[in-house]
Structure formats: C-alpha cells, structure tokens
Amino acid sequence: MTTATSRRGDRRISPVFLGIVAVTAVTGWAVWTDFASQPGLAVFLFVTGAWIVSLCLHEYAHARTALHSGDISVGAKGYLTLNPLKYTHALLSIVLPVVFVIMGGIGLPGGAVFIERGRIQGRWRHSLISAAGPLTNVAFAVVCTAPFWLDALDGVPDTFRYALGFLALLQVTAAILNFLPVPGLDGYGVLEPWLSYKVRRQVEPFAPYGLLAVFAVLWIPEVNGYFFDAVDAVLRALGVTEWDTYWGREFYRFWRGTPEIPTFTQS
C-alpha cells in the first residue's frame, strides 16, 4: 500500500507547475482583455510563464519516454511531477533559458533530467528519449502558430497576437538548437547510439561545452543572421510574420516602456 501510494505521489502533478500554469493563464487573459494597466508586463509574465511550462513539458517528455523504455528511476526522482525544482540542474533547465529570452529573445535549450541509460535496451529507444524533448517544442510551436496558419486571428487583440508570435519564435529556436548534432544537445543524443564506442568516447569530454560552443558561434554576426533567417523561414511557413515577432519582443521588454500598438498590415 505504501509503495503504491508513493508511486502515485511520484507522478502527481506538482503544485509548483500548476501555479506556473495559473500565472500563465491569468496573465494571458489580462493580455487578451487589455485588462492590465501595463500590457508589456502582462506580455512578459504570459510569455515567460508559457515558456517555463514548455520547458517543464520538454523535460517531462524525456522522462516519460525513459520510463516506458525501462528506466523506472525517473519516478522516484520526481521528474514525472512536472516540478522544475526537481531537475538535476534547475539553473540550466529554467533560470538560464529565461535569462536568454530576456537578453536576446532566443529559446535556449533546457535539459537536466538524469536518465539511467544502463537500464534501457535498444538504440531506437535511446534515440527516441533524446528526441522526445525537442519534439515537444515542435508540438508547442504548432499549437502557438495554429491561429496563424488556420486564419483564425479575426478579432484577436493585436497585443495577444504579437505575444503568441514571440512565443512561437522561442519554440522554433529551441527546437532547432536542440536538434543540432552537437555533443550535450538532444540532437547528438539522437545520433549517439548509432556511433561506434570509440567515437563516443572521443566525443564525451566535449559534451559539457557543446551548448556554450553553440552560443559562442551564434555571436558571430554572419552565423546569427543565417540562423534567424532559417527561424524566420519556418515561422513564415507557419503564418507568423516578422512583424508579429518583432512587436512581440518589443512588448515583452516592458522595462523599455510600452510601445504604441501599430496597425497590423499584411506583408
């Protein structure tokens, strides 16, 4: 009985996560209804809350896939509760991604659930566990952009539209960065099971620095330009324009003051 109760507790949704969802919902309502006296602050809280929710779901997808692949330890570690405080590196999974959004409007890949890979058999399962996280970002991007590519934006307040566009940009950047085949990122995790033991051992020491290397390269103006051109191309295919993402970022940076809402013109 105690064991069964413990297992149910290991998978019960955390009040911390529910609180984040509640903040996201309330501030999203404030943006939609123009209830907030400072729409920029409401956009900031709405987008940041939704971004943290997506990070939690990203890590949950890794853990849930690992559970069904044979690693039953993820439950005891609290990964199935969606509580971001349970992650191995809460700084990497939550704090740094939010800081990078504030600094540059880019979706930093989170990532810090410890999977006991020795419990899992089969290369396909290992690859799927790594792919599950960024696929969650892909799904989140599809949901955020659905009103755009379904032409369902009639009557939607401009500020809410821009917030959705900026949130979609974060999800697309996170998905692209996560799928890069760089040691330490999920893209390499997908590829790694198919590499020889010798190659894996040679690459392993570089894994802790892979993410730092990616962001160092992104500071190169030419590379940064190519990267965001690719992001913009994906967003345009989903119906989101640069106009949407630009004003979404402007409203998000509420500390610069509330920008005047421009009249949307179809590009």
Q: What is the pLDDT of residues 73-96, one digit of tens each?
A: 998 888 999 988 887 666 666 777
Residue 187 scores a pLDDT above 60? yes
What is the structure's pLDDT at 36?
66
* Mean pLDDT, residues 58-72: 93
Residue 241 scores a pLDDT above 50? yes
The catalytic residue among 59, 116, 222, 242 is 59
* Mean pLDDT, residues 233-250: 94
Average pLDDT value for the chain: 87
Half-sphere exposure of 242 (CA within 13 A, CB side): 7
What is the structure's pLDDT at 111?
59
Dist CA 103 CA 20 (whole Å): 21
59 is catalytic: yes
Dist CA 112 CA 87 (whole Å): 6
Please tell me the least confidently modeled range out of 11-25, 89-103, 184-198, 209-223.
Answer: 89-103
Instruction: State if pTM tops 0.75.
Output: yes
Q: What is the pLDDT of residues 30-44, one digit of tens each?
A: 999 877 668 889 999
Residue 191 scores a pLDDT above 90? yes
Q: What is the pLDDT of residues 100-149, one digit of tens each?
A: 787 767 887 665 788 888 899 999 999 999 999 999 999 999 999 999 99
Long-range (24+ apart) CB contacts under 8 A made by 236-242 are: 238/141, 238/142, 238/145, 238/148, 238/149, 238/168, 239/145, 239/148, 239/149, 239/151, 240/145, 240/148, 240/165, 240/168, 240/169, 241/165, 241/267, 242/267
Residue 210 scores a pLDDT above 80? yes
pLDDT band at 165 (very low <50, low <70, confident <90, very high): very high
pLDDT band at 97 (very low <50, low <70, confident <90, very high): confident
What is the structure's pLDDT at 92?
65
* Mean pLDDT, residues 257-264: 67
Residue 2 scores a pLDDT above 70? no
